[in-house]
Amino acid sequence: MDLDPRYLQTFFVVSRERGFSRAAAVLHRTQPAVSYQVRQLEEQLGAVLFDRTTRTLTLTDAGAKLHALCERFFDEFGRLARGLQAGDAPAEPLRIASVSGFGRYVLYPLLARERLAAPYSLRFPTAEQVFESLEDGACDVGFVYLPHVSSRLLTAPVWREQLVLVGPPGAKGKTFPRLEAFEDLTFVTYDECEYVFGKWFEGHYGRQPRSMRGTYHFEELEEVVSTVAAGHGWSILPDHCVAQAARQGTVVIAPAPGRKQVTNLIYSVQRANAPENPSALRLIDALRAAGEATAPRSKPRRRSSNPDTRSPRVASPRRTTTF
C-alpha cells in the first residue's frame, strides 16, 4: 500500500483541529482540498476515520488509532529533524535484557556509573526469555548464566561469579563435610535456582543430595536474602547478591567444603547477523574491565581447558565464537 504522506499530515491536522475548515486555515488550503485528501486516505486504508453524522467532528476507533500513530511519528520526526539541524542526531536507546541477579547487582550499578553514548532500557526476564528477545530482534544485547547453542547468536564470557552457600547469622562456623548433612536443612528457593543449586552441589560433592526441603520460594533475590537473614532457611546464591548482607552480618557465607570455590561465568549474547552496536561493545568492555579489577589476585597457574576455570578476558566480544 502506497500512502501519500501529505494525506497523513492533512488527517492529523483535521483530527487535531476537530474540523475541516479550521484545518484548511492551518494548512493554507481550501476546505474541498482538505476533504478530498482525507477521503483518499480513507479509501486507501479501507476504513472510515471520522464520524460525520454529528455536529462535532469526532474520530472513529480506526481514526483514533491512526491519530495516536501520527502523533508518535510526527513527534519523532520533529526531534530527528531538530537533531540533524543541530548536527547531533538523537541516538537509539540500547535495549538490554539480563537475568535478574546479575542485572540488579552487577549490571545496573555499572550502568549507573558508566556514561554510555546512548540511552538504554533494562529488563530482567528469565534466561530463555533473554534468548527469545534477541532472536526476535526486541533486544540488542543480553546477559545470561549459560551459553546457548544457536547459529543466530554470538556468545562470549564477560563476568565470573562465585556461588556461595548462605545461612542465617546464628549458623556462623557451621561446616558441611558430608553431602548428607544437607538433608536436615531447609532451603529458600527462587526462580531459576535449579541451575545454581545443581552447579554448586556438583562442584563440591560431585552429585546432588537425595532430597532437599524447601520453605519459601521467591521470584527475586532480595526476598531470598531477607528470608535467610530472618532464620527461615539456607540458600545458594551468586556472591555479588549477598556481599552487602554478609558485610553487615545479617547473613553468613558458609565455608566452602575443602576450601574449593565453585564459579560460574556470565555470558553476553548478541544476534549474529546484527550490525555492530558501539554502545553494546562499550558496555561489554566496561563489564570485563570491572570484572578484572575486582577479581582477587592469585598465583599464576596453568590454563585449564574447563571453560568455567578460564578468565573471561581470554575471549573478546568482537571475536567471539558462533554457536
Which pTM was predicted?
Answer: 0.63
Q: Are residues 223 and 167 in the same domain?
A: yes
312 has a pLDDT exceeding 50: no
Q: Are residues 250 and 177 in the same domain?
A: yes
What residues make up the domain containing 67? 5-85
Tell me the pLDDT tens digit for each residue of 185-241.
999 999 889 999 999 999 999 999 988 898 899 988 999 999 999 999 999 999 999
78 has a pLDDT exceeding 80: no
Q: In whole numbers, what is the pLDDT of the chain averaged over residues?
A: 84
**For 295-323, what is the mean pLDDT?**
39
Q: pLDDT band at residue 72, thresholds of 50, 70 and 90? A: confident
Query: Can you give the pLDDT at residue 86?
Result: 64
Cα-Cα end-to-end distance for the chain: 39
Query: Can you give the pLDDT at residue 83?
Result: 66
Does residue 254 fall inside a structural domain? yes
CATH of the domain at 151: 3.40.190.10
Does residue 320 fall inside a structural domain? no
Does residue 304 fall inside a structural domain? no
Query: Can you give the pLDDT at residue 75?
Result: 78
Q: pLDDT band at residue 250, thresholds of 50, 70 and 90? A: very high
Q: pLDDT band at residue 295, thresholds of 50, 70 and 90? A: low
181 has a pLDDT exceeding 50: yes
Q: Are residues 150 and 164 in the same domain?
A: no
Q: Are residues 155 and 180 in the same domain?
A: no
Q: pLDDT band at residue 314, thresholds of 50, 70 and 90? A: very low
Q: How many domains does the chain have?
A: 3
